[in-house]
Amino acid sequence: MNGALSLMLDTLHVQTSLLRKLSEFAAEEAAPSPLLTTLQGLTAAIMELDASVGDVERKFDGLAQILSVAFGMSSAEASPGQKGSAWPQDPAMDDEDG
């Protein structure tokens, strides 16, 4: 019985030492993680891409108005809500090669 109790005490002592070490490691500042650095870089790249797409979208916003002026159409003729194409088309553009 003493042998078994001694082994249990030794096991508890080892576990206590391990828990103390884990507590010390948890209290220390973590070194920079390569995974965290990569994820932060990916996040920044995606945010930059999102901003670029937004910039392209804003440039397209005024395109209908610019094209309507270029083709001499009123803004009512060029409204995006119309069915069918409001833009004058060259008949050659309607075939497969155009």
CA distances (Å), origin 2, targets 10, 12, 15: 12, 15, 20
User: How far, in Å, CA of 98 to CA of 90, rounded?
Assistant: 9
DSSP annotation string for 9-44: HHHHHHHHHHHHHHHHHHHSPPPPPHHHHHHHHHHH
- For the chain, 98 residues long, the average pLDDT of each consecutive 10-residue run is 84 88 80 84 89 85 84 65 49 50
| Per-residue model confidence (pLDDT) at position 28 | 76
User: How far, in Å, CA of 76 to CA of 64, rounded?
Assistant: 11
Question: What radius of gyration, in Å, describes the C-alpha atoms of the chain?
Answer: 35
| Per-residue model confidence (pLDDT) at position 75 | 57
Give the amino acid at 18. Answer: L
What pTM does this model have? 0.37
User: How far, in Å, CA of 97 to CA of 94, rounded?
Assistant: 8
Residue carrying structure tokens 């030794």:
10
